[in-house]
Amino acid sequence: MNYAIPVPAAPAIPVAGSDTLFPVRRIFCIGRNYADHAKEMGAAVDRQQPMFFMKPADAIVAGEEVEVRYPSATQDLHHEVEMVVALAKGGADIPRERALDHVFGYGVGLDLTRRDLQAAAKAKSHPWDAAKGFDQSAPVSAIHPASVVGHPKDLRLSLHVNDALRQETRLDDMIFPVDAIIHELSKLWTLAPGDLIYSGTPAGVAALVRGDRFIARLGDIAVLQGRIF
Ligand code: MN
């Protein structure tokens, strides 16, 4: 095939315990998946209908130790620590009871948010893309295969910034657990190998500034360390 310009490199994430990479196709995110976070944002808790948005695949910054540039056009960059789910298999209308069979593995990441732009978008009923889908808005740890670590049940998810605990929850507090998210997403999109899912954040979202160091942890499975510069 002759391409008119060089084919862009495929975004990819290291797979823990191996020399392979997980290629990223799309990044789906669920909003308001922990009641305490919905409450702190002044949003209603909807247990019937999940709310999804997306980031571009090349928003990932992947590794155990990452450097994230403070984004342009915001005065209020927020962290949202989230478990990240990587899919090995796709499909449409995936039954909830078979949903976990589609998972390749798990990591921990930050759904970085230009909170000021998000608030402005909400006020005007505009889309969230500039608030959520900017460059380097999706730092993520290595992916740990479910074949090694299993499917996380009631793990602790936490974020420290400059050694202070900012966010902490148990995965049990998710309104839509992973199998339900996959089921619901697959009603809206035909899911595919390489798709990533950011599974929502608990309360405690707050600002990051240049020089901050962060450590996100998913139980004893995954860790993501980094710095804002
Ligand atoms: Mn989020």
The predicted structure's pLDDT at residue 216: 98
Distance from residue 14's CA to the centre of ligand 1 (Å): 22
pLDDT band at 143 (very low <50, low <70, confident <90, very high): very high
Backbone phi, psi, residue 61, to 5°: -130, 110
pTM score, whole prediction: 0.98
Q: Span 176-197, mean pLDDT?
A: 98
The predicted structure's pLDDT at residue 181: 98
The predicted structure's pLDDT at residue 64: 80
Distance from residue 115's CA to the centre of ligand 1 (Å): 11
pLDDT higher than threshold 90 for residue 168: yes
31-70 pLDDT tens trace: 999 999 999 999 999 999 999 999 999 999 998 899 999 9
Contact indicator for 71, 136 with CB cutoff of 8 Å: yes
Match domain 12-228 to its CATH number in 3.30.565.10, 3.10.105.10, 1.10.1740.10, 3.90.850.10.
3.90.850.10
How many angstroms separate the CA atoms of 209 and 225, rounded?
15
The predicted structure's pLDDT at residue 63: 85
Distance from residue 113's CA to the centre of ligand 1 (Å): 8
100-136 pLDDT tens trace: 999 999 999 999 999 999 999 999 999 999 999 999 9
Distance from residue 146's CA to the centre of ligand 1 (Å): 23
Distance from residue 2's CA to the centre of ligand 1 (Å): 39
Q: Span 144-148, mean pLDDT?
A: 98
The predicted structure's pLDDT at residue 36: 95
Distance from residue 30's CA to the centre of ligand 1 (Å): 6
How many angstroms separate the CA atoms of 58 and 209, rounded?
22
pLDDT band at 167 (very low <50, low <70, confident <90, very high): very high
Distance from residue 88's CA to the centre of ligand 1 (Å): 22
Distance from residue 111's CA to the centre of ligand 1 (Å): 5
pLDDT higher than threshold 90 for residue 153: no
70-81 pLDDT tens trace: 999 999 999 999
Q: How far is CA 221 from CA 111, 127, 145, 155, 201, in A?
A: 19, 34, 10, 9, 18
Q: Where are the domains of the chain?
A: 12-228
How many angstroms separate the CA atoms of 18 and 7, rounded?
26
For the chain, the average pLDDT equals 97
Q: How far apart are the first and last CA of the chain?
A: 40
Distance from residue 55's CA to the centre of ligand 1 (Å): 11
